[in-house]
């Protein structure tokens, strides 16, 4: 363990300015929680100056204010480009206060001016209808991280640092947050941080000791145990501990100087001297009281330094004159009259530590990453498209085809370094391994002879943690760079809650004119439900699409390309897009090529379309429409189509393939929604529709329930029937197979039940034959395993 040196690196003069800035930030933090009026306490505090609902959190603020103040100092002193991730929950008042002090806030929101009137607005808007949230949020200048759900700060910090060699990313980790799984996993991100091409991450573990109602685990470990853990994570911890403001400020300044010197050495030796040993990155353990400088005791119980300081230390201020007096005393303890001029603007001493312009934390372009985004150089798709002479003549593994395209994206960004591919140990398994022709897997831990594709400077990121993949990529894209997350479909649910938060972030950001659009967060979900026959039931879940489609329609996009060329087209669109969450579900197993590249582009642009060559209506009115979405359902629908042609040649049927799931929504509900006329142009308004869908069948109803003709819609999909079996048995078990689809057509088309009874029996027999065969042999019947559209 290193300890901050006790000699004073800080001249008294400078210390005084830092204390002034800190007091100002503390004052402004408390003011936001409490005050509606009288912001400068120019008159005695009265109940009507107090907000009617006290909705805020004081506990974490003084510690964050300390960090902000000292980050200001080092940014200014060292001319750093820095970004801070504010992890603790409810840190809003603090970060807002500091960005107001430095001027960033008023530049972003001119009506919240840097004067008394602006200060009153600043106070009033906090946790107030029409105002700003109590967390650090998209509304907060300088932030890429919502301090709401907790767990993701350190992953975001690393994501921001990757490929930003000039950037220092400090990350304040609350000791509550540190108990979460994602944060616990994030400590190992240092094995993936390249000191040459990446920036530095400086974790600041803030132990204020308490969560909402409990002590925190890490704050109640013996220091040697905590240190052992942090050293085990690869860090060299420097401690700053105390409750005496002057001493803590002195120690914090010394600690920051020490760790930044060390980081400078690490980067210099790696970059200039070619040192390749994994560095032991420094970090800070900051131990200060929760609710520091707030009321020590309220109504006879201790508050400062306990969990009771978490939220509003004085709750009865409007009704309880004693509380009101304590609040006034508390606020006046910061001596606002020394900190702000008569006009309400901070005085020079307060601002002495504040850096200028884009160096200010609230004005960093990295925290408004769209400002830095360059269009991703996606290569021409023709270079990777598979030839399709006629539909179904050949097969390809769609993700492998995509892999070749991604290799070129990696090559095109070799110098720019603004594209990363992340995934939990599955790039190979998901058949994207072509990318290794352009770059390797980021890896700073030990290597052994025989290792392949590990690369100190690689831009493929693999760790067996979907949380880290997601968190890294969020940090990377929110700072303006591009990426793709390839994941087993079932296990992407691990990050359901993270993607919720990211979508909420994007939704809110889009409404803020000052936030520039950032690259979309792109998912490739593969190794999907229908081809997890070998991994079994635990690996079968197509519900992420349902989860995402509950979210804001302006942000979410869901694509199910049915073959290789459509996957290329969809990926091209996703990679070029901004401010979306794009979910692409595509298989890695050999799949028939249905559309040429040109056809694929047109089909994907439309999002849904009639496949003339697959149906047989040819000018007749169709008796039935076969809908399909997803690669396996599309194949089963085409196989059903072939059976219908063979067994029921008089039946007029249409095949409609849907790539963009949101096309099924009414246009009033989603920007991609089809108009009622367009929908009926595809599906008719009165004919039976037998729809084979990749996921849970009721999703299609949830999308299409408002459509006239919805009563005629019959959907097949995954219904939690699955185990270790054969690929075709998976579709049989879920009634999505070709035979069942033909039976569905017979059951749904008026008048067909009797006429086609024998055909129906033939289909039922085929299903029974299949069952006996796989139980005997373990493999599918040749009639399905070797089926082709063309013969």
For the segment 459-518, give every residue that binds a copy of itself (CB under 8 A): 462-468, 490-491, 493-494, 496-497, 500-501, 504, 507-508
Residue range at the interface with a copy of itself (CB under 8 A); choices 108-116, 132-140, 156-164, 341-349: 132-140
| Cα angle, residue 358 at apex, residues 194 and 555 outer, rounded to 5° | 75
Least CB distance to a copy of itself at residue 593 (A)? 25
Least CB distance to a copy of itself at residue 46 (A)? 16
Least CB distance to a copy of itself at residue 448 (A)? 7
Q: Which is nearer to a copy of itself, 474 or 563 (CB)?
A: 474
Tally of CB atoms within 10 A around 497: 16
Helix intervals (H) in 444-529: 466-478, 496-510
Least CB distance to a copy of itself at residue 575 (A)? 24
Edge-to-edge strand list for the sheet holding 419-423: 454-455, 441-442, 460-462, 419-423, 482-488, 521-526, 581-585, 556-559
Q: How far apart are CA 749 and CA 650, in angstroms?
A: 13
Q: Which of 732, 361, 700, 755 is nearest to 549 (CA)?
A: 700
CA distance readout (Å), 515 to 142, 370, 371: 11, 7, 8
Least CB distance to a copy of itself at residue 446 (A)? 4
Where in 159-226 does DSSP place strands (E)? 167-174, 200-206
Structure tokens at 405: 């395209």
Least CB distance to a copy of itself at residue 501 (A)? 6
- At residue 170, φ and ψ (nearest 5 deg) are -85, 145
Q: Counting Cβ atoms within 10 Å, is residue 701 exposed (0-12), middle (13-18) or buried (19+)?
A: middle
Question: Does 194 interact with a copy of itself (rule: CB under 8 A)?
Answer: no
DSSP string over 246-294: HHHHHHHHHHHHHHHHHHHHHHHHHHHS---SPP-EEEEEEE--TTTTS
Per CB under 8 A, the list member of 110, 181, 380, 387 interacting with a copy of itself is 181
Touching a copy of itself, residues 706-735 (CB under 8 A): 710-711, 720, 723-726, 729
Residue range at the interface with a copy of itself (CB under 8 A); choices 197-205, 231-239, 412-420, 754-762: 231-239
# residues contacting a copy of itself (CB under 8 A): 119
Q: Which is nearer to a copy of itself, 127 or 616 (CB)?
A: 127
Structure tokens at 111: 């009506």
Q: Which is nearer to a copy of itself, 20 or 171 (CB)?
A: 171
Q: Which is nearer to a copy of itself, 17 or 427 (CB)?
A: 427
Sign of CA dihedral 36, 38, 40, 46: negative
Per CB under 8 A, the list member of 129, 274, 357, 750 interacting with a copy of itself is 129
Question: Does 53 interact with a copy of itself (rule: CB under 8 A)?
Answer: yes
DSSP string over 643-658: HHHHH-TT--EEEEEE
Q: Which of 240, 206, 252 is nearest to 15 (CA)?
A: 252
Per CB under 8 A, the list member of 8, 128, 510, 762 interacting with a copy of itself is 128
Touching a copy of itself, residues 738-757 (CB under 8 A): none
Least CB distance to a copy of itself at residue 651 (A)? 25
Site string for a copy of itself, 20-39 (x = CB under 8 A): ----------------x---
**Residue labelled with tokens 């540190």:** 178
Q: Which is nearer to a copy of itself, 320 or 535 (CB)?
A: 535
Q: How far apart are CA 399 and CA 589, in angstroms?
A: 8
Q: Which is nearer to a copy of itself, 485 or 594 (CB)?
A: 485
Strand-pair partners of 715: 691
Q: Which is nearer to a copy of itself, 128 or 789 (CB)?
A: 128
Residue range at the interface with a copy of itself (CB under 8 A); choices 98-106, 156-164, 370-378, 769-777: 769-777
| Cα angle, residue 582 at apex, residues 576 and 586 outer, rounded to 5° | 105
Structure tokens at 776: 């005997």
Q: How far apart are CA 102 and CA 641, in angstroms?
A: 67
Residue range at the interface with a copy of itself (CB under 8 A); choices 141-149, 245-253, 626-634, 642-650: 141-149
Residue range at the interface with a copy of itself (CB under 8 A); choices 102-110, 251-259, 639-647, 691-699: 691-699
Per CB under 8 A, the list member of 59, 176, 391, 403 interacting with a copy of itself is 176
Least CB distance to a copy of itself at residue 504 (A)? 5
109: which DSSP letter? Answer: S
Q: Which is nearer to a copy of itself, 379 or 553 (CB)?
A: 553
Residue range at the interface with a copy of itself (CB under 8 A); choices 175-183, 370-378, 642-650, 736-744: 175-183
Q: Which is nearer to a copy of itself, 60 or 569 (CB)?
A: 60
Q: Which is nearer to a copy of itself, 487 or 632 (CB)?
A: 487
Pairing of strands 200-206, 281-287: parallel
Q: How far apart are CA 445 and CA 190, in angstroms?
A: 9
Q: How far apart are CA 559 and CA 662, in angstroms?
A: 9
Q: Which is nearer to a copy of itself, 351 or 774 (CB)?
A: 774
Least CB distance to a copy of itself at residue 300 (A)? 13
Using DSSP, state whether 295 is helix, strand or coil.
coil
Q: Which is nearer to a copy of itself, 305 or 391 (CB)?
A: 305
Structure tokens at 210: 């308490």
Least CB distance to a copy of itself at residue 67 (A)? 21
Residue range at the interface with a copy of itself (CB under 8 A); choices 218-226, 412-420, 575-583, 587-595: 218-226
Per CB under 8 A, the list member of 42, 44, 48, 214 interacting with a copy of itself is 214
Q: What is the largest CA-CA distance in the chain?
A: 98
Residue range at the interface with a copy of itself (CB under 8 A); choices 334-342, 421-429, 516-524, 600-608: 421-429
Q: Counting Cβ atoms within 10 Å, is residue 751 exposed (0-12), middle (13-18) or buried (19+)?
A: exposed
Q: Counting Cβ atoms within 10 Å, is residue 464 exposed (0-12), middle (13-18) or buried (19+)?
A: exposed
- At residue 3, φ and ψ (nearest 5 deg) are -125, 145
Touching a copy of itself, residues 350-409 (CB under 8 A): none
Strand-pair partners of 173: 205
Least CB distance to a copy of itself at residue 286 (A)? 18
Q: How far apart are CA 435 and CA 451, in angstroms?
A: 17
Touching a copy of itself, residues 547-586 (CB under 8 A): 547, 550-552
Per CB under 8 A, the list member of 32, 72, 134, 267 interacting with a copy of itself is 134
Per CB under 8 A, the list member of 63, 133, 242, 346 interacting with a copy of itself is 133
Q: Which is nearer to a copy of itself, 491 or 613 (CB)?
A: 491
Site string for a copy of itself, 238-277 (x = CB under 8 A): ----------------------------------------
Cβ pair 724, 535 in contact under 8 A: yes
Cβ pair 471, 156 in contact under 8 A: yes
Touching a copy of itself, residues 425-454 (CB under 8 A): 425-429, 441, 443, 445-448, 450-451, 454
Least CB distance to a copy of itself at residue 587 (A)? 18
Cβ pair 632, 643 in contact under 8 A: no
| 642 Cβ contact list (under 8 Å, min separation 6) | 789
Least CB distance to a copy of itself at residue 449 (A)? 10
Per CB under 8 A, the list member of 5, 81, 131, 685 interacting with a copy of itself is 131
Least CB distance to a copy of itself at residue 352 (A)? 33
| Cα angle, residue 706 at apex, residues 701 and 707 outer, rounded to 5° | 90
Structure tokens at 261: 């010197």
Site string for a copy of itself, 285-314 (x = CB under 8 A): -----------------x---x--------
């Amino acid at each position: 363990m290193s300890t901050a040196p006790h000699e004073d690196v800080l001249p008294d003069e400078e210390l005084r300015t830092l204390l002034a800035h800190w007091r100002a930030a503390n004052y402004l933090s408390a003011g936001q929680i409490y005050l509606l009026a009288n912001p400068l306490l120019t008159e005695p505090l009265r109940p009507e100056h107090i907000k009617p609902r006290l909705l805020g959190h004081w506990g974490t603020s003084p510690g964050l204010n300390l960090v902000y103040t000292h980050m200001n100092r080092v940014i200014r002193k060292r001319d750093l480009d820095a970004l801070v991730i504010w992890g603790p929950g409810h840190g809003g008042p603090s970060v807002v206060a500091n960005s107001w002090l430095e001027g960033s806030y008023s530049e972003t929101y001119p009506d919240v001016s840097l004067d008394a009137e602006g200060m009153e607005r600043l106070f009033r808007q906090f946790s107030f209808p029409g105002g700003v949230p109590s967390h650090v949020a998209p509304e907060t200048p300088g932030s890429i991280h919502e301090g709401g759900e907790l767990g993701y700060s350190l992953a975001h910090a690393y994501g921001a640092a990757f490929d930003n060699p000039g950037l220092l990313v400090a990350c304040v980790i609350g000791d509550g947050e540190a108990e979460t799984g994602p944060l616990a996993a994030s400590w190992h991100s240092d094995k993936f941080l390249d000191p040459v091409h990446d920036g530095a991450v400086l974790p600041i573990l803030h132990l204020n000791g308490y969560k909402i109602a409990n002590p925190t685990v890490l704050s109640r470990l013996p220091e040697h145990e905590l240190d052992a853990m942090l050293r085990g994570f690869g860090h060299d911890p420097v401690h700053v501990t105390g409750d005496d403001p002057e001493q803590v400020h002195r120690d914090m300044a010394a600690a920051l100087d020490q760790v930044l010197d060390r980081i400078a050495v690490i980067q210099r030796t790696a970059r200039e001297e070619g040192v390749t040993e994994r560095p032991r990155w420094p970090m800070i353990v900051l131990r200060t009281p929760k609710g520091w400088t707030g009321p020590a005791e309220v109504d006879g119980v201790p508050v400062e330094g306990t969990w009771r300081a978490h939220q509003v230390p004085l709750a009865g201020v409007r009704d309880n004159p004693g509380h009101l007096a304590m609040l006034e005393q508390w606020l006046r303890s910061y001596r606002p009259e020394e900190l702000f001029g008569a006009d309400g603007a901070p005085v020079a001493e307060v601002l002495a530590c504040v850096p200028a312009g884009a160096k200010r934390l609230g004005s960093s372009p990295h925290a408004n990453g769209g400002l830095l985004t360059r269009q991703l150089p996606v290569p021409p798709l023709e270079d990777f498209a598979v030839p399709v002479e006629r539909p179904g003549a050949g097969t390809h593994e769609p993700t492998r085809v995509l892999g070749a395209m991604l290799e070129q994206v990696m090559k095109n960004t070799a110098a720019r370094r603004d594209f990363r591919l992340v995934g939990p140990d599955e790039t190979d398994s998901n058949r994207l391994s072509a990318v290794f022709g352009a770059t390797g897997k980021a890896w700073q831990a030990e290597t052994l002879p025989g290792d392949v594709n590990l690369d100190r400077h690689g831009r493929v990121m693999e760790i067996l943690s979907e949380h880290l993949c997601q968190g890294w990529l969020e940090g990377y894209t929110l700072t303006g760079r591009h990426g793709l997350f390839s994941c087993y479909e079932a296990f992407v649910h691990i990050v359901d809650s993270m993607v919720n938060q990211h979508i909420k972030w994007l939704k809110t950001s889009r409404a803020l004119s000052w936030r520039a659009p950032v690259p979309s967060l792109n998912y490739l979900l593969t190794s999907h439900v229908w081809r997890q026959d070998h991994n079994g039931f635990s690996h079968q879940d197509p519900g992420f699409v349902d989860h995402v489609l509950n979210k804001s329609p302006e942000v979410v996009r869901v694509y199910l390309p049915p073959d290789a060329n459509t996957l290329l087209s969809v990926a091209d669109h996703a990679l070029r897009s901004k401010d979306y969450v794009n979910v692409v579900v595509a298989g890695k197993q050999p799949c028939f090529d249905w559309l040429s590249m040109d056809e694929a582009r047109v089909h994907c642009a439309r999002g849904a379309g009639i496949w003339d060559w697959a149906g047989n209506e040819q000018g007749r009115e169709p008796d039935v429409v076969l809908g399909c979405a997803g690669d396996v359902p599309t194949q089963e629908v085409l196989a059903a189509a072939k059976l219908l042609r063979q067994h029921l040649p008089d039946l007029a049927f249409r095949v409609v393939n849907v790539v963009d799931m949101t096309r099924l929504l009414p246009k009033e509900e989603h920007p991609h929604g089809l108009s009622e006329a367009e929908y009926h142009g595809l599906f008719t308004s009165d004919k039976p529709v037998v729809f084979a869908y990749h996921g849970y069948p009721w999703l299609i109803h949830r999308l299409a329930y408002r459509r006239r003709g919805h009563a005629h819609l019959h959907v097949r999909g995954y219904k939690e029937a699955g185990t270790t079996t054969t690929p075709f048995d998976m579709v049989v078990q879920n009634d999505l197979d070709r035979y069942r689809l033909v039976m569905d057509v017979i059951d749904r088309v008026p008048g067909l039940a009797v006429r086609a009874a024998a055909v129906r029996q033939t289909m039922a027999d085929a299903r029974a034959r299949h069952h006996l065969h796989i139980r005997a042999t373990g493999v599918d019947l040749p009639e399905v395993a070797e089926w082709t559209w063309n013969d």
